[in-house]
Amino acid sequence: VAASPYPYPLPVEHTALVMIDFQRDFMEAGGFGETLGNNVALLRTSLEPGARLLAAARQAGMLVVHTLEAHKADLSDLPPAKQLRGNLPPELRIGAEGDMGRILIRGEPGNGIVPEVAPIDGEWQVHKPGKGAFWATGLHEKLQARGITHLLFAGVTTEVCVQTSMREANDRGYECLLVTDATDSYFPKFKEAAIEMIRAQGGIVGWTADTAAVEAALAAA
């Protein structure tokens, strides 16, 4: 892949696409993200590139993983420190009843993936209680069992769940690439900063490239 800071190797049979938290609570009007005062339109610009990336990965026969920030209905996997973070009123905390069901609770309407990038049969769905995709999910063990060594990342938000997941993956030995136009943040400056941090110092966390570069590499594979 034509990437920064230098070309990224793409062994398709050992690569997975990880679609981070493209869920209604974060991306749709009336969801949790908008309730907190965020402009969800800033995230939705990642959907067209994300859908193209997903289609290219499927065409290539690549493993696809979808993650969702989601907690059990009884909140047994929700640390009090996370529930209380942000000094939010009780009606806006995780587990409270929102316009799309209980906030960030597995199986609730708002916790589903938006239709533009929804999973199909055979694609993995990982419900993660934290920001990163690897903590308390068993994802690493499943990827290892499939012989996966390389990960492409897309999703939201760039500086929180996407970057956290990339750093977790980097520490576990994966070669990671962030697809820059298939990720977004409520804060554009945070996205820019996260991209710079990821590819700094010769790719200290990983590589970055846009969707077109990945499509071209997969077409040539």
DSSP secondary structure code for residue 158 in this structure: I
What is the C-alpha separation between 85 and 88, in angstroms, rounded?
7
Annotated active-site residue 176? The verdict is no
Catalogue the E-assigned strands of the chain.
15-20, 63-69, 97-98, 101-102, 124-128, 150-156, 175-184, 207-209
Annotated active-site residue 21? The verdict is yes
- Among the listed residues 21, 25, 181, 210, the single catalytic one is 21
- Among the listed residues 99, 131, 142, 161, the single catalytic one is 161
- Among the listed residues 128, 131, 184, 191, the single catalytic one is 128
Annotated active-site residue 128? The verdict is yes
What is the C-alpha separation between 194 and 56, in angstroms, rounded?
25
Spell 62-73 as b/e; 16+ CB within 10 A means b: bbbbbbbbbbee
* Catalytic residue positions, numbered: 21, 128, 161
